A and B are shown apart, each in its own frame.
Chain A
């Protein structure tokens, strides 16, 4: 079965510092996409960043970047220069084999402290 594990239920970081959220997964697929989603308190779930598994280069979106280790099946999210608006639940997700569905991790609650 495909699984996604986010081992840090909660984390905190000082404003302007850097934080890394971890995600590991298990799949037998070879070509797939990986996603990080953000859900601010009482607000909509939005896509933060996506990574294509066949690309060796790690994806970046402004202050957000990933460290993708395909062999280790690890997909961590790094947030640089943390801002108060980064306070949110963060979910890692990837597609189920042969399906349009995504498997989500249980989430990491990130608090940015002023």
Chain B
């Protein structure tokens, strides 16, 4: 079974703090994704990575950055947290390979971040 883990389930930070959210997958997937989930807005893609050290902006990258130094790990960084970044953050991974699993994303449990 694919396993995607996230460093924290709940996190409380103060405005202006630098925040790191980490995601680790154990299936050797090439692709990794960071989403934020807000009521009524569904899932919105922040950034994704298709290989080590490679990244692409998603739909809402402003205020975020990412790092992928190892294939299994993808970090989301909030350089200076703001209250409007209070949200649920979901990490996901998927494989490049064709076949039954093509395009299927596997999700972590999520991190609920509150910025005060």
Contact = CB atoms under 8 A, between A and B. Distances in A.
**Real binding pair:** yes
Interface of A: 9, 32-33, 35, 37, 43-47, 50, 91, 93, 95, 100-102, 104-107
Contact of B103 (A44, A95, A106, A107): A95
Contacts of A101: 33, 45, 48, 58
A45 B92 CA distance: 10
B67 interface: no
A102 B102 contact: no
Contact of A44 (B45, B96, B109): B109
Contacts, number: 44
Interface in B57-98: 58, 90, 92, 94, 96
Interface of B: 31, 33, 40-43, 45, 48, 50, 58, 90, 92, 94, 96, 102-110
Nearest to B58: A101
A106 B104 contact: no
Given A44-B110, A100-B103, A104-B43, 4 more contacts: A44-B108, A47-B104, A100-B96, A101-B48
Given A91-B42, A91-B43, A107-B42, A102 B105 contact: yes
A35 B106 CA distance: 12
A47 B4 CA distance: 13
